[in-house]
Amino acid sequence: MADTRSSRALRAFARRMTKMSARAPRVGAAAKGDLGYSIVVAEATWTPVDTTKALSNWVITNGAPVLEDIPAHFPGVDSLTEPASFAMTQELARAQSRIGSTLPNTPMFIQNNVDYIIELNLGKSLQAPAGWIAETFVSALSRWRARLPQVVGTAMGRKV
């Protein structure tokens, strides 16, 4: 009788593991999309702004990187169009991260291709300290790790 009970338990465990393994790609992709969005929003938040071109160039792509920069979403001077460009950057990142969260085996790229982003990161602007890109990335990653159980639970279909 013990053998029958243990074999039923083992079969039930195997079914649960099979079901969970089928969800793994979806869970991983959801986590990837959420992390990508978190990083882009954090980087855009700290990007020094004058014309909004650097802010507008924080992008997420799926499958392959973008090879050139893009124009400012709302060109301006003296940060006058920053709120509109930030909102557009945020919305585009949200859309791209959602697309990425449906592509389990596709790499996601987070990048900024403006030719002066390295100068900004080296401290050219007084609006952000030197090294702000890496600092912001590490900070966003840390905040995301704290949220990871919620992200995974949601992707698994659990109420969290």
Which 3-state string (H, E, C) describes 101-133?
CCCCCCCEEEECCCCCHHHHHCCCCCCCCCCHH
- Give the pLDDT band of residue 95 (cuts 50, 70, 90): confident
Task: Specify the residue for token string 């990187």.
Answer: 65
Query: Would residue 12 count as lying in a domain?
Result: no
**Mean pLDDT, residues 82-110:** 86
Query: Would residue 29 count as lying in a domain?
Result: yes
- Give the pLDDT band of residue 98 (cuts 50, 70, 90): confident
Q: What is the pLDDT of residues 26-38, one digit of tens each?
A: 888 888 888 889 9
C-alpha distances out from residue 142 to 11, 58, 128, Å = 39, 20, 20
What pLDDT is recorded for position 15?
A: 86
The answer to whether 9 and 141 are in contact (CB under 8 A) is no
Angle at 48 between CA 42 and CA 54, to 5 degrees: 80
Three-class secondary structure of residue 93 per DSSP: helix
pTM of the model: 0.80
Query: Would residue 58 count as lying in a domain?
Result: yes
Query: Would residue 32 count as lying in a domain?
Result: yes
- Give the pLDDT band of residue 160 (cuts 50, 70, 90): low
What pLDDT is recorded for position 13?
A: 85
The answer to whether 56 and 114 are in contact (CB under 8 A) is no
How many domains, in total, are found in the chain?
1
Query: Would residue 88 count as lying in a domain?
Result: yes
Query: Would residue 56 count as lying in a domain?
Result: yes
Average pLDDT, the chain: 87
Query: Would residue 44 count as lying in a domain?
Result: yes
Helix axes 2-46, 132-155, angle to 10 degrees: 150
Query: Would residue 160 count as lying in a domain?
Result: no
**Mean pLDDT, residues 135-159:** 86
- Full residue range of the structural domain in which residue 75 is found: 24-155
Answer left, alpha or beta for residue 123, where phi above 0 means left and psi between -120 and 50 means alpha.
left
